[in-house]
Amino acid sequence: MILTVTLNAALDITYTVPALTPHASHRVREVRERPGGKGLNVARVLAALGHESVVTGFAGGPVGAVLRDLLAPLAPHDALVPIAGTSRRTLAVVDDASGDTTQLNETGPTVSPAEWAAFLSSYDSLLREARAVALCGSLPPGIHVGAYAQLVRRAHAADVPVLLDTSGEPLRRGIAARPDLVKPNADELARLTGSREPLRAARDARRRGAHTVVASLGPDGVLAATPEGVWQATPPAPVKGNPTGAGDSAVAGLLSGLVDRLPWPERLARAVALSAATVLAPAAGEFDAVAYEDLLPRIAVTERVAAA
C-alpha cells in the first residue's frame, strides 16, 4: 500500500453564495463537506488509480468525527490517530456567478507530546506495509517544526521511499533530512531558495538535500531535477477550471509512477495529466478520468540538457 500523512487533516466546507461582499450578510445557497487535507486528497486519487492507500495523521473532536464519517465509505483506509483537540475546518466561499473563491482556513488543534508519540508508534507500524509514503501539508500547533525531518528519517530507516510536500520552515528542515522527492510549487521553491528561476531553484533544493525535486509550475506543467537528468513535462494546451487539488493529484501521479517503477518521463506525464484532469473536473479536488486518459498520451516531456 501507499501511505499518506496529513498531520493537519481538515473538514473541507464549501459555501456557495451569489457574491461575497465584505461586511454584508449572506444567505448560503449550498453547503458541501468533504474530508480534506493534502494527504487525504492524494490518497483518494491513488485509490482511483487502483492503488491501495492508507491515510494517517490526526483527527479529533466533533469536526474530526464528521471527517472520519465522510471518509469511511471512501476507498482510502482510515489510520488517523485520535486526539483530544478538534480537527480544523477549511471554508471555501464560492461566488456562484464567477466561481471565484475566498478561502478561510482554521489553524488546527494543538497536538500534545503524548499524541505525537502515539502517532510515531503507529507511523512506524504502517511503514512496515508501505511501498511509499507521502508527507503532506502544514503542521498543526504543538508539532515541532522539525517533525517532517523526523518522519523522513524513520521512512529511510524502514527503507520506504518518501515524498515531502509542504512549505516554509517545515520544508526547509524536512529537505535537510534528504527525502527522495519534494514537490514544491514555484512560490514555495522561491521562498526556499531565493530564486524565481525554476531550474536554478530546483538544483539549489537538490543541493540542500532532496534527491529529486519536481517543481509544479501551474499551466507550464512540472520541472523535474533528478539524479538521472532534468525533464520538463507540459500539457498540450492550457486548461481552464478550478486548480484546487491539482498539486495533490500531481503528488499522487508521482507516487503511482514510483511504485509502478516507471521511467521519469512517464512518471512526469502521469503527474501532469492527473493535475490537468483535476483542474478540468467540475468538483474541486476530484479528477476527470476521461480527460486523464485523453491527456496522458499528449503530455510533452522534454529532457533539458544540463549547462556545463
25 binds its own copies (CB under 8 A): yes
**Nearest-angstrom CA–CA distance, 241 and 301:** 23
Give me the residue label for grid cell 492503488: 51
49 or 111, CB closer to its own copies?
111
The grid cell for 154 is 524513520
Q: At what angle do helices 38-48 and 246-259 cross, to 10 degrees?
A: 50
282 binds its own copies (CB under 8 A): no
**Nearest-angstrom CA–CA distance, 307 and 289:** 38
Return the biggest CA–CA distance within the chain: 61
141 binds its own copies (CB under 8 A): no
Residue span binding its own copies (CB under 8 A) among the ranges 39-47, 104-112, 195-203, 234-242: 104-112
226 binds its own copies (CB under 8 A): no
15 binds its own copies (CB under 8 A): yes
* 100 a catalytic residue: no
Amino acid at 297: P
* Ramachandran class of 255: left when φ > 0, alpha when ψ lies in -120 to 50, beta otherwise: alpha
60 or 161, CB closer to its own copies?
60
Q: Which of 95, 248, 288, 294 is catalytic?
A: 248
31 or 307, CB closer to its own copies?
31
**Nearest-angstrom CA–CA distance, 214 and 36:** 23
Contact of 113 with 129, CB cutoff 8 Å: no
107 binds its own copies (CB under 8 A): yes
118 binds its own copies (CB under 8 A): no
Contact of 180 with 165, CB cutoff 8 Å: no
93 or 250, CB closer to its own copies?
93
The grid cell for 32 is 458541501
66 or 262, CB closer to its own copies?
66
93 binds its own copies (CB under 8 A): yes
The grid cell for 78 is 482510515
**HEC sequence for 175-218:** HHCCCCEECCEHHHHHHHHCCCCHHHHHHHHHHCCCCEEEEECH
Nearest distance in Å: CB 212, its own copies: 28
The grid cell for 240 is 481552464
302 binds its own copies (CB under 8 A): no
Residue span binding its own copies (CB under 8 A) among the ranges 28-36, 110-118, 239-247, 265-273: 28-36
CB count within 10 Å of CB 290 equals 10
H or E element, residue 82:
strand 81-83
Among 2, 9, 10, 17, binds its own copies (CB under 8 A): 17
Over the window 67 to 86, marking each residue x when it contacts its own copies by CB under 8 A and - when it does not, the resulting string is --x-----------------
22 binds its own copies (CB under 8 A): yes
The grid cell for 49 is 488509480
Give the three-class secondary structure for 62.
helix
Residue span binding its own copies (CB under 8 A) among the ranges 17-25, 200-208, 222-230, 244-252: 17-25
85 or 265, CB closer to its own copies?
85
Residues that bind its own copies (CB under 8 A): 15, 17, 20-29, 31, 62, 65-66, 69, 91, 93, 95, 100-107
Active site residues: 248
